[in-house]
């Protein structure tokens, strides 16, 4: 693979080193070009422009996502973000007083706040401990699961440690006990292998703007077709019903697939941007993308260890991740982040540690530069690649 051409496709590399791709990703030239084509066509022909064909664009997006997730396109709906999708799922389920929901320790808010309304309805919310590694997590989860457990809702990858959750094993536990398995896939889709069928995932929501390199303000939902009838829509709009383009007479029947949750007037700009991102990644190959992310992360981890950093991923070496979470004894994370920012290197702080996440458009030379910056910031011996 010609990674130099991928590097050159991202103008951000001329200005900074972006190591927060599990937060957001910058736009590439292909995104800019797709938006330019859309704007030119829209300025001349409005919604009649070929680049503005929403049904066609949506179908292409869902086809790529379906291949990536190993599901059918009819099981995918486009929404605005993970939180919206998780609210659709949480508010759409039918639970009874005395039932229990298990969430994840130190979970990202998008998979916490949407469930809180159940606490006022007699539902118990429990938290499974994160543990040091996936095996620890499974042991803690098994201890939490009880006769009244009805839902397990966890992230694919923990946003504060980078640890992938053992989704297939969690899914097997849920399937055996008749528990609904819900996944926040924001940190996983595009970076981790995701086979919703083999993992027995019932519902999932994820954002477009992390590993899938799409626009902020767009996300997707996966709904297992056998579980569609169990999810009551909390919003009904023009596009929720069959024959939606025929406004009168009003319809009684909802669309027979996940599209009922894309209930009205999506953002044309976001869909065009996202399709450009997905086609860019698909042309490289999602497996090739994933392996490159892991390769860059391993390279970065090796550098950090030379500088005396402790790496969270060393606790789960058999579970590759694209997220490096690290700490340097005696050096506050805030000090490190300030030093990186001054050097135009973008990272994040999570639970008092530094979080770094490279993507395919970065080069090893940039990671060498980041390591030299960290050596200066921490007063460590100067790093040399």
The model's pLDDT over 177-221, given as tens digits with 9 standing for 90+, comes to: 999 999 999 999 999 999 999 999 999 999 999 999 999 999 999
Residue 278 vs residues 25, 266, 303: alpha-carbon distances, Å: 13, 18, 31
Domain stop point among 247, 282, 317:
282
CA 267, CA 281: separation in Å to the nearest integer? 21
Q: In terms of residues, how long is the chain?
A: 385
- Residue range of the domain that includes 20: 3-27+285-378
Structural domain count, the chain:
2
pLDDT at 380: 67
* Of the candidates 351, 379, 378, the residue with the CA atom closest to the CA atom of residue 160: 351
Check whether residue 266 and residue 340 sit in a common domain: no
Give percent above pLDDT 70 in the chain: 98
Mean of the per-residue pLDDT values of the chain: 97
Task: Write out pLDDT tens, residues 267-318.
Answer: 999 999 999 999 999 999 999 999 999 999 999 999 999 999 999 999 999 9
Task: Write out pLDDT tens, residues 37-57.
Answer: 999 999 999 999 999 999 999
For residues 381 and 314, the model is more confident at 314
Question: Would the pLDDT of 115 be above 60?
Answer: yes
The pTM assigned to this predicted structure is 0.96
CB 65 within 8 A of CB 278: yes
Check whether residue 106 and residue 229 sit in a common domain: yes
With a CB cutoff of 8 Å and minimum separation 6, the contacts of 102 are 126, 127, 128, 141, 144, 145, 149, 151, 152, 153, 154
Question: Would the pLDDT of 147 be above 80?
Answer: yes
**CATH code of the domain containing 345:** 3.90.1150.10
Domain stop point among 261, 282, 303:
282
Question: Would the pLDDT of 383 be above 70?
Answer: no
Name 348's bridge partners.
355
């Amino acid at each position: 693979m010609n990674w130099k051409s991928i590097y050159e496709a991202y103008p951000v590399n001329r200005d900074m080193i972006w190591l927060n791709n599990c937060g957001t990703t910058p736009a590439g030239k292909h995104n800019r070009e797709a938006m330019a084509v859309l704007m030119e066509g829209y300025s001349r022909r409005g919604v009649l422009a070929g680049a503005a064909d929403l049904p066609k664009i949506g179908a292409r997006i869902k086809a790529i996502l379906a291949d990536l997730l190993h599901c059918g396109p009819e099981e995918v709906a486009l929404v605005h973000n993970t939180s919206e999708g998780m609210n659709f799922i949480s508010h759409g389920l039918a639970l009874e007083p005395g039932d229990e929901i298990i969430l994840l320790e130190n979970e990202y808010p998008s998979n916490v706040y949407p469930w809180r309304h159940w606490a006022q309805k007699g539902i118990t919310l429990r938290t499974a401990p994160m543990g040091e590694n996936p095996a620890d997590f499974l042991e803690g989860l098994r201890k939490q699961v009880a006769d009244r457990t009805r839902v397990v809702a966890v992230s694919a990858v923990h946003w504060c440690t980078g640890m992938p959750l053992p989704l297939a094993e969690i899914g097997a536990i849920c399937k055996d006990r008749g528990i609904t398995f819900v996944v926040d896939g924001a940190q996983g889709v595009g970076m981790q292998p995701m086979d919703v069928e083999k993992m027995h995932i019932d519902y999932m929501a994820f954002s477009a703007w992390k590993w899938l390199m799409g626009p902020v303000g767009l996300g997707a939902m996966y709904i297992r077709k056998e579980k569609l009838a169990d999810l009551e829509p909390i919003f009904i709009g023009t596009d929720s019903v069959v024959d939606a383009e025929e406004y009168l007479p009003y319809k009684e029947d909802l669309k027979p697939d996940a599209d009922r949750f894309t209930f009205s007037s999506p953002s044309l700009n976001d869909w065009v941007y996202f399709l450009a991102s997905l086609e860019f990644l698909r042309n490289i190959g999602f497996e090739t993308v994933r392996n490159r992310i892991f390769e860059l992360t391993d390279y970065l981890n090796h550098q950090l260890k030379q500088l005396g950093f402790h790496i969270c991923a060393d606790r789960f070496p058999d579970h590759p991740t694209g997220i490096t979470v690290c700490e340097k004894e005696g050096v506050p994370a805030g000090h490190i982040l300030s030093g990186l920012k001054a050097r135009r290197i973008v990272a994040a702080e999570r639970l008092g540690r530094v979080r770094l996440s490279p993507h395919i458009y970065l080069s090893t030379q940039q990671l060498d530069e980041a390591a030299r910056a960290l050596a200066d910031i921490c007063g460590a011996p100067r790093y040399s690649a």
